[in-house]
Structure 1
Amino acid sequence: MNMSRNLIVTEYISLDGVIEDPVGMEGSGLGDWTGPFERGPDGDRFKIGELFDSSAVLLGRATYDAFAGVWPHVKDDTGFAERINSMPKFVVSNSLERAEWNRTTILRGDGPQQVAKLKAGEGGDILVYGSAVLVHALIEHELVDEFRLMVYPTVLGRGKRLFPAGTKLPLALERSQKLGSGIMLICYRRAGQAAEPRSAA
């Protein structure tokens, strides 16, 4: 399949692979499991940079609802809030009736099929935050080009994991770096896949 845009999954993840509800606001009962740790200036720069280097954000319904309830009301000195509020956003959902967040398009129908069409169109990198159920479907349909993981030094014992049981996915390490209070940034591409030129709009 010839894809012209990179689809990048960026996640906070525990040592045992959990990506669910990292700040404890989604009712999972896991608590704010990222809160006790600092990612430091390098981590902040990385998160800001990856957003500004991307041209669109893709989200599942639950993560969209959480983000849409917060980011329109945030002002920050880094420009992160202004960037995410002003850039194109896509939410995969057959139940969301209207998207109130600025510049949001609802992708209805077959999610992976809709995302494949999005990838095949014009534009730069597409960034996926959270969205465990959507990410599982994208992994199954081989639509993810890159994983950017901030691995937190904590074991949760339960919760939605990045890779469902039975997943087989060869990856190639692109970057690793220690951040802040023991967090590891680890970036992988799908093995055998060359990085596409990056551009943001």
Structure 2
Amino acid sequence: MGKVIVSTQMTVDGVIDRIDEWFTPAGEHEESGSFDQLFAADALLLGRKTYEGLASVWPTITDTRGFADRVNGMPKFVISRTLQGPLEWNASLLEGTLAEAISELRQRHTGNLVSYGCGELAHHLATQGLVDEIRFWVHPVILGHGTRPFHSLEPPVHLTLTGTTTYRSGVTLLTYRPNPK
């Protein structure tokens, strides 16, 4: 059984949106870290906003390393109160309670379930004890303003640092285990 991993790219000052202004697409962090994370996953677990954003871009992306083929070909499970199926881009809506749906996915998939983004879905997963790891990929830039992880949602999510990796590009991967109260 794989892990449920929340993974998000962010600036040093914690901005997770406006990614086209600061994201460092080339470097060891992408060549090994992000690549390894994606290929260790069996499926993506996405909230509505992240699904809509990714589905509007990724189907048109190609690359020579197989990253785009992997993203586009793998199953995506979407959690939404407003979307209705059927969904495109190899995606389906999860039904039932989130805890039951995650339990069923864990039983069905041996690889990890990766959730990109860090908003309402990530917060709910973490506070309900449904996340094994939260990974913050911190890029060496200060943006000044923008959306922050978990978007000021309550209650707080307490974390234990379980690992750090610093890449030559200056990107630092911080890996945490959530400690639900």
Structure 1 residue 39 displacement after superposition: 5.3
Distance of 1:118 and 1:107 partners within structure 2: 10
| Cα contact 1:175–1:188 (8 A) shared by 2 | no
Partner of 1:44: 30
Distance change (3 Å), C-alpha of 1:137 and 1:179: farther
Which of 3, 12, 17 in structure 1 is aligned with 2:14?
17
Alpha-carbon deviations, 1:85-109, whole Å to 9, x = none? 111111111322220112x221134
1:7 is the counterpart of 2:8: no
- Structure in which a larger fraction of residues adopt helix: 2
Partner of 2:159: 170
Distance change (3 Å), C-alpha of 1:120 and 1:85: same
Structure 1 residue 158 displacement after superposition: 4.3
Distance of 2:30 and 2:108 partners within structure 1: 30
Distance of 1:168 and 1:61 partners within structure 2: 21
Which of 124, 128, 144 in structure 2 is aligned with 1:156?
144
Structure 1 residue 58 displacement after superposition: 0.7
Determine helix, strand or coil for the equivalent of 2:137: strand
1:126 is the counterpart of 2:113: yes
| Cα contact 2:87–2:93 (8 A) shared by 1 | yes
Relative to the length of structure 2, the TM-score reads 0.83
RMSD of Structure 2 on Structure 1 (CA):
2.3
Distance change (3 Å), C-alpha of 1:168 and 1:134: closer
Distance of 2:57 and 2:146 partners within structure 1: 26
How many percent identity over aligned positions? Answer: 32
Relative to the length of structure 1, the TM-score reads 0.75
Partner of 1:189: 177
Q: How many equivalent pairs are there?
A: 175
Q: Which has the larger displacement, 104-113 or 120-129?
A: 104-113
Distance of 1:80 and 1:100 partners within structure 2: 19
